[in-house]
Amino acid sequence: MKVFVAGGAGYIGSVCTEYLLDKGYDVTVFDGLITGHRQAVDPRAKFIYGNLEDRDFLFKCLCEGRYDAVMHFAAFSLVGESMKDPGKYFKNNLGNAINLADAAVKGGVKRFVFSSTAATFGIPEEMPIRETTAQKPINPYGESKLCFEKALRWYSDIHGLKYAALRYFNAAGASENYGEDHNPESHLIPILLQVAAGKRAKAMLFGDDYDTPDGTCIRDYIHVLDLAQAHEKALYAPESGHYNLGTGAGLSVKQILEAARKVTGHPIPADVVPRRPGDPPRLIACSDKARRELGWKPQYEDAETIIASVWKWMQKHPDGYEF
């Protein structure tokens, strides 16, 4: 199977590319390197430098490549930034995604796997969160992703483009060769490990007065290799639809902090600061549908295993991809 991976130079896209290549797929990465890294593209993959804004070039690539499937990871994903510049998020996460869907249809692609997000649910009305839980985004990032989920349904109905929208919860972890290198870094685990590595003086815990056992927010951390497995499984989804991806086991910020201290042997000093607006106390996935319909089985479900994979990658790449 020939797979066209838009955004394959980013964090999750790079690991998924590696995973597909290991499984014997023919993979082409398409990326404009706006937030991705050229060094994060597996050398076994074909690489096309390009931007999803360029419809003509995108159409040329998809029509000439004769791909069987498209995977779409090329999105902006900073919630805070989306609250300051919503136009940037709707232009890329919806408008440019439409360009990719149009090119896929024109190129005769039959399957489309979309990197969506739990942010489409906003502050959920039930826990754990199911695919049927009401989607009420509370920021432009989540709204832009939800808009494209809705667009994909019409592309499926009208053009026969079979799709799977995979709603990630808290992506974490690293593979042997590829990991997380954001600037600025906004994710908890790499921030804690940057403290352990001496690159930050301390971490900040946003609120310790939530209605949770230890007062800090609880999230569902899913290893990036398990996300990669889900993307490969989604290529064979029985029908178009949406899938939540998480372990179903929530971990608090303080639990992640203690696990990071144990893995690194570093005290990792951390200060409690005021809550961030809009942070729900708990976000936990029900992933029964993905397990049942896709045959998905997460392999890395405990905090120490996830954190150890990141720590190992960071020690091999102390400056990220700047080597």
Catalytic positions: 141
Count of helices and strands (H, E) across the chain: 11, 14
- Whether the Cβ atoms of residue 260 and residue 307 lie closer than 8 Å to each other: yes
Nearest to 212 by CA among 253, 172, 182, 180: 253
Amino acid in the structure at residue 132: T
Helix H segments across 66-168?
A: 79-84, 86-90, 97-106, 140-159
Round to whole Å and give the CA distance between 121 and 60. 35
At 62, the amino acid letter reads L
Distance CA 154, CA 160 (A): 9
The answer to whether 279 touches 206, Cβ cutoff 8 Å, is: yes
Distances (CA, A) of 154 to 137, 157, 278: 21, 5, 31
Structural contact between residues 272 and 209, judged by C-beta atoms closer than 8 angstroms? no
CA-based torsion, 59, 64, 66, 72: positive or negative: negative
